[in-house]
Amino acid sequence: METVDSIPVFVEEGASRIERRDAAANRALILETAERLFAQYGVANVNMADIAQEAGVGKGTLYRRFTNKAELCLNLLDTQMADFQNRMLDEMRQMTIEGVPRLAQLEHFLEALVFFTDIHSPLLREVQREGLVQSRRLERPHFWQYMTVNGLLHAAVSAGELSPDLDIEYLGDALLAPLVVDIFRYQREVRGFSLERISAGLRALVAGLKSS
């Protein structure tokens, strides 16, 4: 609240709140519309004009929220990655309570990540095309994946499932490398590997650590 000649003035504050609510509503509408169009037509076949028209917002409103389609895709990924993280944390917490070995939890996590990457690779590719894949904005989800794998490997060492002589820091990166979007799409589209084959290969890599 501000005052003019000692008289309380509420208009600007109220207008600001309304503007923030409108901005948040527009943002949510745009993301929901983009997600629906992407699912229906494919990410590569939908442009920003399509999204603005379907959402019923002006192009200026759309570009004030998102500089380009890659940034919009990145925002969709943020939400979907958060949902995935929460689900995986709940599942691994329950597996720990049930006494499931850490390496088995690692296999479960990597398999889930294979299917997540496959579903969301069109978004990831769009982000990468604009160079945002190198941005600090992508460090957080990748960092979480790495820290999950790294944490499970360290826990496996502590539980006696793995040798303490292993280079855990390197192995965390090595296990995630096949899930980098370019490598992953090469495996799927050029090599023709099924999701089940990729998952089985990652499980074999984890199993091979036991004898190292």
156, 160, 161, 164 alpha-carbon torsion, rounded to 10°: 70
Q: Hey, is 205 helix, strand or coil?
A: helix
Query: What integer pLDDT is reported at residue 8 of this predicted model?
Result: 42
**Tokens standing for 102?**
């850490």
Q: Which DSSP helix (H) or strand (E) runs through 7?
A: strand 7-9
DSSP string, 9-40: E-HHHHHHHHHHHHHHHHHHHHHHHHHHHHHH
> What does the alpha-carbon distance between residue 79 and residue 101 come to, in Å, rounded to a whole number?
30
Domains of the chain (ranges; CATH) run 1-66 (1.10.10.60), 69-212 (1.10.357)
The residue among 136, 198, 145 whose CA lies nearest residue 172 is 145
Query: What integer pLDDT is reported at residue 11 of this predicted model?
Result: 41
Taking the chain (212 residues) in runs of 10, the rounded mean pLDDT of each run is: 41 51 82 90 90 90 88 86 90 96 97 93 79 49 83 95 94 92 92 97 94 67
